[in-house]
Amino acid sequence: MRLEGSDLACIRGGREVFSSLGFTVGAGEALLVTGPNGVGKSSLLRLCAGLVRPAGGRLTLAGGDPELTVGEQAHYLGHQDALKGALTVRENLTFWTQYLGGAGVVPALEAVGLGSIGDLPAAYLSAGQRRRLSIARLVAVERPIWLLDEPTSALDAAAQASLASLMARHLAGGGLILAAVHGPIGLADARELRLGGAT
């Protein structure tokens, strides 16, 4: 499997965010998108997820399901955690597994260290726990492409190490990762795509 962007352009709010952008990331690879604030890191991920239409260029996925879009074969982990405060931790994840077609709610919660608070309403979670619950969706519903926007945001050192392990396992299984980051996320062999030039 290979995700490739060629000559991509993005316009948000009438402003060109980037143009003539190209990248390739294959199965078992991670590509870290870096650069200063406002250069389009998040916009690139949203474009790949199908949430933003490209103003130019082409995004292709070789080796994926030809009946599905790139976004339908990807997990998008954005800045905001998509949780319902009135639902419990387990109910939130159960909703996503039913909606996206996954299983294994309990093992996924265990994998992110939330197994003991499955009955707690999500409204009572800390920022780090909310992030870990969002990450649990990556585990519970298998998809080959992970689009991660600042995935370590709000995570403590132990949770960052756990995420690094989950990402390594995803890559070892043939998945691919495109992540917008401002610093290391525990993937030593990841390549870098820098936007916006030197600062």
Higher pLDDT, 24 or 38: 24
Under 8 Å between Cβ of 37 and 184: no
Name the residue among 33, 63, 74, 39 with its Cα closest to residue 191: 33
DSSP letter string over the chain? -EEEEEEEEEEETTEEEEEEEEEEEETT-EEEEE-STTSSHHHHHHHHTTSS--SEEEEEEETS-TTS-TGGGEEEE-SS----TTSBHHHHHHHHHHHHT---HHHHHHHTT-GGGTTSBGGG--HHHHHHHHHHHHHHS--SEEEEESTTTT--HHHHHHHHHHHHHHHHTT-EEEEE-SS--S-TT-EEEE-S---
- So what's the pLDDT on residue 197? 62
Gap between the Cα atoms of 120 and 174, Å rounded = 34
The stretch 137-148 carries a mean pLDDT of: 96
N- to C-terminal Cα separation, the chain: 33
pLDDT-derived band at 192 (thresholds 50, 70, 90) equals very high
What does the domain layout of the chain look like in residue ranges?
A: 2-193
pLDDT-derived band at 79 (thresholds 50, 70, 90) equals confident
- So what's the pLDDT on residue 199? 38
- So what's the pLDDT on residue 128? 95
Which residue in the block uniquely carries the two structure tokens 């199908």?
A: 50
Q: Within 10 A of 184 (CB to CB), how many other CB atoms are there?
A: 12
Taking 60 as the threshold, does the pLDDT of residue 41 lie above it?
yes
pLDDT-derived band at 113 (thresholds 50, 70, 90) equals very high
- So what's the pLDDT on residue 20? 95
The CATH architecture annotation of domain 2-193 reads 3-Layer(aba) Sandwich (3.40)
Gap between the Cα atoms of 127 and 125, Å rounded = 7
pLDDT-derived band at 198 (thresholds 50, 70, 90) equals very low
- So what's the pLDDT on residue 64? 92
